[in-house]
Amino acid sequence: MRLLLVEDDVRLSAHLRLELEQAGFAVDLADNGVDAQFMGESEPYALVVLDLGLPGRPGLEVLRQWRAAGNAVPVLILTARDAWHEKVDGFKAGADDYLGKPFHTAELLARLQALLRRGVARPHGRLQAAGLELDEEQQTVRPSGSDETITLTGTEFRLLRYFMLHPGRVLSKSHLAEQIYDFAAEHDSNVLEVYINRLRRKLGRDLIATRRGQGYVFGPGTP
């Protein structure tokens, strides 16, 4: 399993590389944002561990560029900045998970395995609902009858799939978090709202309605 580790701290990157290789990963290293962006665009990695505070190009900018190019590789962000607004910025940029420094290597490995399980468990086929067709193998969605294909990140995919399986049903924030996160306790309502808004930007605001004090409803023309 090939993994890209992006970290400019030499001692930390050496330690993490050793631990990751002992866990069975083949690890490529990048110590700046320019190299990281190039490597992420040119190599088919199964996972990326990305530090935000990088020389050359900020980690958030690297991640935004990957997502804008349609690269949906699972990305876990590492950063010393652990305020909630930094987490939200990371998820807005397209991160799938977040781990603040300092951390235990065992937790990092557990989170990476969780990201892998999400991908392996993804069913193959197509799901249709509310005028959308979800390709569960390619992790893309398109309006029914259209040739326009929209790429989704892992968390966007899981959230949209759950909505499409339950159209017209009021789904609370806590219930949605339980369905899409392996570490639900660490993902507050601010973060879930980020993903809701990202889906609205990609698919149209009318498909996901907010029911104040209750949660969200998915479907065309929901009030």
Let me know if residue 26 belongs to a domain: yes
Nearest partner of 218 among 157, 171, 155, 173, judged by Cα: 171
23 and 67 share one domain: yes
DSSP 8-state secondary structure symbol assigned to residue 167 = T
Q: Are 187 and 99 in contact (CB under 8 A)?
A: no
- Residue 45 is which amino acid? Y
Same domain (yes/no): 131, 116: no
> 85 and 173 share a domain?
no
Q: Is residue 10 in some structural domain?
A: yes
Are 214 and 133 in the same domain?
A: yes
Which of the four pLDDT bands, split at 50, 70 and 90, describes residue 126?
confident
Distance (Å, whole) CA 217 – CA 141: 19
Query: What CA–CA distance (Å, rounded) separates 170 from 146?
Result: 28
Q: Is residue 77 part of a domain?
A: yes
Tell whether 223 is covered by a domain. Answer: no
Claim to verify: residue 34 and residue 102 sit in the same structural domain: yes
- For residue 60, being part of any structural domain is answered with yes
Q: What is the pLDDT of residues 76-122, one digit of tens each?
A: 998 776 667 777 888 889 999 989 888 999 999 999 999 888 764 44
User: Rounded to the nearest 5°, which phi and psi values hold at 40?
Assistant: -65, -30
Q: Per-residue pLDDT tens for 182-216? A: 554 455 567 888 899 999 999 998 899 999 999 99
pTM value? Answer: 0.63
Contact 132/203 with Cβ under 8 angstroms? yes
My answer on whether 113 and 158 are in the same domain is: no
What are the C-alpha distances in Å from 75 to residues 88, 186, 212, 222, 223? 14, 16, 31, 32, 34
Do 134 and 170 fall within a single domain? Answer: yes
pLDDT tens string 7-56: 999 999 999 999 999 999 999 999 999 999 999 988 888 899 999 989 99
Q: What is the per-residue pLDDT for 82?
A: 60
Domain boundary among the residues 88, 105, 120 is at: 120
Q: Is residue 141 part of a domain?
A: yes
In terms of domains, do 49 and 139 share one?
A: no
Residues 106 and 25 in one domain: yes
The CATH number covering residue 12 comes to 3.40.50.2300
Last residue of a domain, one of 64, 99, 120: 120
- Please tell me whether residues 186 and 205 are part of one structural domain: yes
CA 31 to chain centre: 22
CATH number of residue 156's parent domain:
1.10.10.10
Q: Is 18 in the same domain as 114? A: yes
114 and 180 belong to one structural domain: no
| 193 in a structural domain | yes
Q: What residues contact 66, with CB distance under 8 A and at least 6 apart?
A: 37, 40, 41, 73, 75, 94
Domain holding 142, by residue range, is 126-218
Please tell me the total count of domains within the chain. 2
- Out of 89, 104, 120, a domain closes at 120
97: enclosing H helix or E strand = strand 97-100
